[in-house]
Amino acid sequence: MNKLSMLLLSAALYVLSGCTAGRVAFSNPNWQNKTGYTVEGRSQTIFQKKPLRFGEFYTTQVKTSAKQSSAQTTDLEGRRTWRYNGVAGILNQHSKSSRRLTLNNGNGQEAEIITYNQLNASTYMFGRGLEMNFDFLLRTLGMDKKTENSYYVQVYEPDEDKPWELILDMDAIEMNPRNYAGVFALDENHYYDIKPITRMMGKNGPSSIPVGCIGYEITNPEGDTVAAVSLLGNCSVYLSETLNAQNRFLMAGLCAALLLNEPNS
């Protein structure tokens, strides 16, 4: 988000919130009074050592790096993930920065998460024999393969070699967030939609913000809200009580990646 957009958004939030603590407005009215988990440690830098925390989830490792050589052949601290083992090096070469996270669920299980900021979509590896979701995701989203500011995420569940994948077109989110939806998918039959939140609660109910977004709402294929991230204040994470333990952990991994997205980093 550019400086003018940031100034407009900040001014609008101040007015809409009525000088009180801001709260996002969900599309699901049943979530409007839902209590979220306060986020700690969101400001992650190369020198930041504090863990990211919300609810029972916390990171045991967060590593931030700038562009790296495509000679890199492992993506998770030496862990080779068969068909994905060369992905990180190629993507790092064409993104502004990347992060590797290890997220613990409080019961000893860990998920691995890799994020890439400002990725140039023209470098996606079509036809290279890598069974990735790029083609499905781009077709679903109607994204231009020449997009230069996309946010790409891989979330590896515990003991799994195939990741869930996310692509967000950050330019589209800034320019037309009300009509945009991203996809978080394992394959064509297992996916979630990610929609930017563009309204916040004011004294007179929900009000739209003029630019960008103030959070993300995540829905399953049936259209039910299962998780959300608020970027207001210190940030909050919301998780549905209907999620089983595995899906709750998966949604926590996605929310962690959304919290650490820095479009202009």
Q: Which residue has the higher pLDDT, 39 or 120?
A: 39
The answer to whether 205 and 23 have CB atoms below 8 angstroms apart is no
Give the pLDDT confidence of 80-94 residue by residue, as tens digits.
343 444 444 445 445
Q: Name the band, by pLDDT with cuts 50, 70 and 90, for residue 203.
A: confident
Do strands 215-219 and 110-119 pair parallel, antiparallel, or not at all (unpaired)?
Answer: unpaired
CA 79 from chain centre, in angstroms, equals 23
Q: For residue 49, what pLDDT is reported?
A: 60
Q: For residue 172, what pLDDT is reported?
A: 81
Q: For residue 3, what pLDDT is reported?
A: 43
Q: Which residue has the higher pLDDT, 191 or 174?
A: 191
Q: Name the band, by pLDDT with cuts 50, 70 and 90, for residue 126.
A: very low
Q: Does some domain include residue 196?
A: yes
Q: What is the mean pLDDT of the chain?
A: 75
Domain of 60?
3-259
pTM value?
0.78
> Roughly how many angstroms between the first and final C-alpha of the chain, as a whole number?
10
Q: For residue 197, what pLDDT is reported?
A: 94
Q: Does some domain include residue 264?
A: no
Q: Could you give the number of structural domains in the chain?
A: 1
* Listed residue (99, 93, 94) closest to 65, CA to CA: 99
DSSP line for 222-253:
TS-EEEEEE-STT-EEEE-TT--HHHHHHHHH
Q: Does some domain include residue 265?
A: no
Q: For residue 139, what pLDDT is reported?
A: 60
Q: Does some domain include residue 89?
A: yes
- What SS3 class is residue 180? coil
Q: Does some domain include residue 221?
A: yes
Q: For residue 109, what pLDDT is reported?
A: 95
pLDDT at 121 over 80: no
* Listed residue (183, 170, 264, 262) closest to 219, CA to CA: 183
